[in-house]
Each structure stands twice: as C-alpha cells, then as structure tokens.
Structure 1
Amino acid sequence: MLNLAIVLEDSARSVPGRVAVVSGEQRLTYRQLDAAANRVAHLLASRGIVKGDKVALSCPNIAWFPVVYYGILKSGAVVVPLNVLLKRREIAYHLADSDARAYFCFEGGAELPLGREGRSAFDDTDGCEHFFLIAGDPTAPPSATPSAGESENLAHALTTQPAAFDTVVAEPGDSAIILYTSGTTGRPKGAELTHANMIFNALTCHKLFGEVEHDVHLVALPLFHSFGQSVQLNAGLAARSTLVLMPRFDARGALALIRRHEVTFFAGVPTMYWGLLGEDTADADVSAVARNLRIAVSGGAALPVEIHRRFAETYGLEIREGYGLSETSPVATFSPRGTRVRPGSIGVPIWGVEVDLVAPDWTPVGPGQTGEIAIRGHNIMKGYYRRPDATAEVMRGGWLRTGDLACRDEDGWLYIVDRAKDVIIRGGFNVYPREIEEVLLAHPAVSMAAVVGIPHHRHGEEIKAYVVPTPGADITEEALTDWARSTMASYKYPRLVEFRDALPTNATGKILKRELRRTDQATRPR
C-alpha cells in the first residue's frame, strides 16, 4: 500500500503518546490524530464517497486540517485543499472544476466568514453532494452530546463513527492531491499529484533536513499550500515531529511561539524572514529564539541575499534555501545539510530528480548561460486536472518547464535569475527585477523592494521600484534613484520609485507583482 496517510499511521504506531499537533491550547497525540482521521474516513464512506472521488477542504492552520486531510486520504478520496481567503464565486469555481463530491469548510468568524461563503458556494455547485461544517472539538468522545445549535457540526457527526478504519489501498500512480495554482495567467488550474509524488517528496525532505529524535516545527506556512503540506505536515509527521500550528503569521507572535515551545524547525517564505528582522521584533530575546532553532528553510520565492545575511547575523543560523512549485510536489532542489550554504542559491536537485536549463525551444543552454528551469523525476505531477492542452504546454517527455529562469555555477548549484514572465525588456535590453531588488536592499534606507516593468512609449517598458523604507529612514525618491544610478548599469536602474508602507502579498506571503502592475495601470493618466 502506498496511501499518503501512511506518514501519519506509521508514526501513530511508533509514538502513539507523543504530541503530534499543538493548536492554541489544544494538543493531539499521534494516537488521537490518527483516530480522529479514521472517524472522518468512516463518515465519508457512510455518505458513499469512494476511491478516486474528490473532496475539497477549506481550513486554516488548526488541528482540524490534518484530521480531515488524512481522513480524506484514508477513505481513498482525493484531497482538494482550497485557499481560505477565497470568496463564494471562487470557491464555487474550484468545487466545480475539481468535480468535488464533498466539501469540508471551517466555520470561520467575523474576520474570516469562511463558513458562510463556503455554504453559499456549495449551494451554487451542482454535483457537490455533501457539506460538512468544521466546528467543535475533533477529539470529542463518542458519548458527547451537542449543545444547542451544534447538531450539524463536524465534531458531532464524528462522535458516532468508529475510531478504527481499514485505510483504502492506493497504487503509486493514483491521485492523492489536487493543488490549484495561483492563476497568475488565466483561471487557476489543478495540479494532480499522486500518492508516490507526495510520499517520495515527504520522505526525501525528511532525509534532507537531518534525522533527529524529535523536532518541533512552527507551522506558519498555510497548510493548503504545497510548501507547508510537504515540507512540514507530511515530512514532519513522517519524522514523528510535533507541529505547532499558527493560523496567521505575524513576526512577534511567531517568535513567542518559538520560545514557548522550544521550536527547532522553521520554514517560511522570504517575507516571513523579513518580518522576523523587522521593527516589531527589535526587542525580542534573540538568544531564547536561537537556542533551540536548528534549521531554517526558505522557499516559495527567491530569498534576497541581504535578508540571508541579516538573519544569520541576528539569529546565528544560516537559512537553507530550496525551490519547487505545486507541480513538483513541491520540492525539487535544496541546499542540503552538511554542505556550505551559498547565499542566493536554491541548491542542487534532490534525490531522484533531474534539473536542466533550457531555451524556449526546449534545447539545453550552454555552460554559464541563463535558461528556463526544467525538471524530471518522481515529483512531477500527472498533469493539470482535465486540461490536457495546458499540460502539453509545460510537459514533454517527462520534463516539466517551470517558467523560472536560472543559471548554474561550476559545482552545479542553481541560482534563480527571475520569473520568465517578470523579465523587463527596456530598450531591447533584458533586465532582471531580482538583480535590481538585491541592489536596492543593500541600501540602509530600504527595508523591502519589488521591481516591475510598466509600459513606456519609447522604451517599451520602464523600470519601477516599489519600496518599503526602513523605519525612521529619511530618503527621497530622487535620492534613491540617484544612488541606484551610481551602483548599476544605466539600462538597469529604476527611473521610478514609489514608497509604500507595505507590499501586497498572497496567503503564503509571496509578493504580488501583478497587483503592483495593476495599480500602476489603474492610476496612469489616460
């Protein structure tokens, strides 16, 4: 059997009494987590859900997420995790596009009215037959009696279900997860990932991060995203770790949790590391944070070298960067332990994975040249669900082209140059925004920067930098532009600078450059 649920079941047999999940004041042992997931599987089976059916899940980082996630897998169904920030129309699209037969949706609250939005979306979707409102305590005993108004919540529904379940056998090539891409172009597409994809990625990550007796993860990455799922949820439980769940990242709260739970493992996107170095954490007890933290992992976007340097100076630990995307389960490269960290590099291919750099016609580029990253290995998706044409655009002969440009040093370490779609062509010259961002971040008055290309009547595109200044900094747009002109080639430096208090990010903390372009276009004189 190769059902992804084995990462939980095996650990539940080995360390049943160890705490698997911490969610606020709630703690679930491996035994309790496995039993609750078994009840979810029984519930689905009782409603006629069978192997291969699609089941959607909208839930933040709380104990219910792993309970329902593994329960769906145990039943033989395919998990379709959804971004918790989606609205009614968007949820309905995902339910319909994935052919979901059932939908688990967190009740939410005033700030996150997910239950209301989800129920409305479910009502809008033909073919989705079962709706479960995630509410109550996942470890409620079978004798529990629901209070008024709780008779239809998931916790109550599970009290009548047995705590043991015979997990449905899955073949390596059977679908386990459908992860929807962010949809930067066109409508979101579902990357269909197999049990083999996900298990190999989890176990490979476990080996890469180093085997220790007991890690404690701070899980601030959203679990509906591939990064959090593979690197922390699946790999963490396979390693018999304790996962401290954080529903919404804020730097001060993260540091408090790291200290309180003696966290040893942190994974985040660059904006999270930027937050850990910000003014909100200036008075943090750094020694208490660094005392137990043994590994810090970055992914989701290229990590600026300046943030890498500052984190190492502040916390005494070098960040190990990796690379991947939803279509690669997600990890494809990593800076492995036991090797010298190379700031700016995404590392080398993980075990069982090949990486090549190719030209637009798929031919490999020569030594020292920049090319688009193409990947082949056990981590590559089956394809985009029900989209053979879209799949054919990015896959050929087992290779997946990623849309990211990179170069390779003499030792085979890879360095992201930029997104192919983000490259600015100014007056016939290719300009890579990441290179400019790295230079701007070296200025003491710059805390964060994002560079985009905007339409220009003469040059085709002009370079614009959106900058979050360092607190208390006294600098003008003209002064920063003059400084940039003195530090980089004339065709590269940003002619336009706009200061902002913050940059737009998605639910995973990735800077949304398309929003910056859209804002510029909307404010441009007509």
Structure 2
Amino acid sequence: LLHKNLSANVGAIVKSLSIVSDDVFLCVLPFYYSFGNSVLHTHMVAGGTLVLLNQVMYPNEILKAIEQHQCTGFAGVPSIYITLIKKTNFSNYNLSSLRYVTQAGGPLSREFIGRVSHALSGIDFVVMYGQTEAASRISYLPAQLLDARPGSVGKGIEGVTITVEDPDGNECAAEEKGEICVRGENVMQGYWSNPEATAQVLKDGKLHTGDMGYKDKDGYLYIVGRQSEILKISEHRVSPYEIEEVLLQHEAVEECAVIGCSHSQMGQFVKAYVVSNTDDIAVNQLKKYCQQFLASYKIPKEIEFVDSLPKTSSGKIKRAELGC
C-alpha cells in the first residue's frame, strides 16, 4: 500500500462517518489489523481522540470504558458484538455519548444487527465491508438504511467502484452471485516481493477480492462469503454464514463456526463447532432446531461442542484451525 492508497481511503472514511476533532473513539482492535489501523489513521487526520482498551474478552469493560470516557464512537467485528449482546446488559450503562458504532471484519447476522441497534436505540449502526488490499474500506451502509436494506454492506465508499463478476469477467445481473471486484485509489500496488500472488488478485486494473456476493436491483451489495469458504455439497453451493446465523439464534449457542468436511459422494458435508452456554443441550436438539430453518443438505451432519473457538487478536475466527 502506498501513502496515496491509505490517504484516499482515510479521507473517504472520515467523510462517510463525519469524524471530527471532538470525537472520542474507543478502540479495542489492534493497529496491525487493517480495521484497527483505519481507526487510528482516520482519527489522527480528524484530530480526534482514541481511547485504547485491550480487554475484548471482558465485554462489560467495553461498556464501562464508553461510559467513563464519554466515547462518541466504537468499532467491532461480529464476535465482539455477539459477545456484548449475550454477556452484557446495555441498560446498565450510560451510553448517551455514543454517536455511532461500526461493524466490519465479516458478516454479522441480521438478527444480531437488529439486537445491537435496538440495544443502542438512537445511535447510528454503520455496517461496513473492506479488505487490507483495499487499504481497509470498500463499502458502507448508512445507518438510516439499516432496516430498508437488511443484510447489505451498502455501496462503494467515495472513490471506489464495485462490480460483481462471473468467472469470465462479465458483470453479473442483479441478484446474480459472483466475485466482488474493486477499482479505486485505495487499491494496493501488490503483495511485497510476491508477483505471482499479486497477479492472481490484480487483473485488468481491478482487485479481485475472493469474496462472493451480489447486488440488488438498486446496486446495494450483499456478501455471501469467501470463495475458499463456500461449501460444495453435491450440486449446491452453501455459505457457512447462513448456517451459523441459524445456530446463533438458539439460546444455548454462545458462538459457532461452520466448515466443510470431505465426503466421498457429496463432495463435502457440514460440520459445526459450537460453544454452548449450558450443558443441557444435545446434538440432536440442535439438528432438530436447524430443520425448522434450513434445507436438509445445509443441516450440520456433525456438531462438536468446544470450550472456545480459535481467534485472531482482533476477534476473527480462525476457520483454518478447525479440522474434520
């Protein structure tokens, strides 16, 4: 990434979130993570204040810090918001100073977006989408469109053009799934000393993100999942996030992660790792629950209960460490 890539993206983020020098932002994300790095740069440019907190595992400390420092902004990945909803009571804290919160780093289910926005009534909840290769931010959905465009990550941030393309490089029609491709001053020059990897993602002046998605008829973008994470079950292509969204709605499920495991006939089958908040739940109960919401081929064939899920320091689940 060149200075001009970072500068272009920082300016667009500052404008989209209306960040000003009076803002006080609680940052729980590490600065070596592109999301956390963008928080640092945007507030340096705007002359705002950052409050640093390295206690993601203690969700009540997050709300306590917002109250104590009268923070106006906060950012988190999905697992942080899920933990806040399931393990804290927002009404126990005075969060009236908050102006907005942002979410990126992976899809957060519609249900949890609704629960967070309800708990933070009157506070802007901004859904964002990005990649390190695009200097962090690619798109955002303004808070006022949260109910009108559920599940969307919005449209390209200023200076960014987004297309959804089929394997032949043709732009997909509305509602048709394909790879998300990006143009803009924020796009990287390439991977350091790795021209082969660079050539795989930078083609025809576009960044090929490796993310699958689609646009609705009005041009709003929706993420399906990483190409590498899409499950191939017989003739079906299934996003693990769709299955996780259903599992997370069960009251006994604290966290979960879904992967595809090899199968001689079907190609892959669904396996779910579940962190439960009770010992009083069985595999068959969860499978029966899933039957209410999922097609038969999407229901986890295997469910393994675990004490915790492997995560990065920013709170993102390390799916590659989950085996079959």
TM range (shorter): over 0.9
Distance 1:286 1:295, change over 3 A: farther
Q: CA deviation at 1:437?
A: 1.3
Structure 2 counterparts to residues 124-273 of structure 1, below 5 A: 193-212=1-20, 214-230=22-38, 232-250=39-57, 251-273=59-81
What is the SS of the residue equivalent to 1:407?
Answer: strand
Residues 348 and 414 in structure 1, CA contact (< 8 A), matched pair in contact too: yes
Structure 2 counterparts to residues 282-321 of structure 1, below 5 A: 282=89, 285-289=91-95, 291-316=96-121, 317=123, 319-321=125-127
**Residues of 2 paired with 1:310 and 1:233: CA distance?**
28
Q: CA deviation at 1:444?
A: 2.5
Match for 2:69: what amino acid?
A: H
Q: Which residue of 2 aligns with 1:397?
A: 204
Match for 1:501: what amino acid?
A: D
Q: Does 1:506 align with 2:316?
A: no
Match for 1:321: what amino acid?
A: V
Q: Which residue of 2 aligns with 1:83?
A: none
Residues 63 and 93 in structure 2, CA contact (< 8 A), matched pair in contact too: no
Residues 481 and 496 in structure 1, CA contact (< 8 A), matched pair in contact too: no
Residues 357 and 406 in structure 1, CA contact (< 8 A), matched pair in contact too: yes
Counterpart among 161, 176, 183 of residue 354 in structure 1: 161
Match for 1:392: what amino acid?
A: A
What is the SS of the residue equivalent to 1:363?
Answer: coil
Match for 2:241: what amino acid?
A: R
Q: CA deviation at 1:319?
A: 2.6
**Residues of 1 paired with 2:167 and 2:199: CA distance?**
14
Q: CA deviation at 1:363?
A: 2.2
Residues 504 and 512 in structure 1, CA contact (< 8 A), matched pair in contact too: yes
What is the SS of the residue equivalent to 2:163?
Answer: strand
**Residues of 1 paired with 2:232 and 2:70: CA distance?**
48
Q: Which residue of 2 aligns with 1:492?
A: 298
TM-score (structure 1 length as normaliser): 0.59
Q: CA deviation at 1:438?
A: 1.4
**Residues of 1 paired with 2:34 and 2:140: CA distance?**
15
Q: CA deviation at 1:361?
A: 2.8
Q: Deviations over 1:374-411 (max 9, x none)?
A: 00011100111111121111111210101111111122
Match for 1:277: what amino acid?
A: I
Match for 1:200: what amino acid?
A: A
Q: CA deviation at 1:261?
A: 0.2
Residues 99 and 124 in structure 2, CA contact (< 8 A), matched pair in contact too: no
Q: Deviations over 1:27-83 (max 9, x none)?
A: xxxxxxxxxxxxxxxxxxxxxxxxxxxxxxxxxxxxxxxxxxxxxxxxxxxxxxxxx
Structure 2 counterparts to residues 462-501 of structure 1, below 5 A: 462-469=269-276, 471-472=277-278, 474-501=280-307
Residues 26 and 65 in structure 2, CA contact (< 8 A), matched pair in contact too: yes
- How many residue pairs match? The answer is 321
**Residues of 2 paired with 1:505 and 1:516: CA distance?**
11
TM-score (structure 2 length as normaliser): 0.94
**Residues of 2 paired with 1:340 and 1:453: CA distance?**
31
Match for 1:502: what amino acid?
A: S
Distance 1:318 1:311, change over 3 A: farther
Unaligned runs of 5+ in 2: none
Q: Which residue of 2 aligns with 1:87?
A: none
Residues 406 and 414 in structure 1, CA contact (< 8 A), matched pair in contact too: yes
Q: CA deviation at 1:472?
A: 4.0
Q: Which residue of 1 aligns with 2:223?
A: 416
Q: Which residue of 2 aligns with 1:56?
A: none
Residues 240 and 258 in structure 2, CA contact (< 8 A), matched pair in contact too: yes
Residues 300 and 510 in structure 1, CA contact (< 8 A), matched pair in contact too: yes
Unaligned runs of 5+ in 1: 1-192, 521-526
What is the SS of the residue equivalent to 2:7?
Answer: helix
Match for 1:467: what amino acid?
A: V
Q: Does 1:329 align with 2:130?
A: no
Q: Deviations over 1:145-174 (max 9, x none)?
A: xxxxxxxxxxxxxxxxxxxxxxxxxxxxxx
Q: CA deviation at 1:285?
A: 4.7
RMSD of aligned alpha carbons: 1.7
Q: CA deviation at 1:430?
A: 1.3
Q: Deviations over 1:224-273 (max 9, x none)?
A: 1111111x111112111110012342312212211110111001111111
**Residues of 2 paired with 1:489 and 1:278: CA distance?**
27
Q: CA deviation at 1:306?
A: 2.0
**Residues of 1 paired with 2:223 and 2:200: CA distance?**
22
- Choose between structure 1 and 2: higher strand proportion: 2
- Which has the higher relative contact order, 1 or 2, with Cα contacts under 8 A spaced 6 or more apart? 2
The structure that has the greater radius of gyration is: 1
**Residues of 2 paired with 1:379 and 1:292: CA distance?**
31
**Residues of 1 paired with 2:189 and 2:21: CA distance?**
35
Q: Which residue of 1 aligns with 2:150?
A: 343
What is the SS of the residue equivalent to 1:288?
Answer: coil
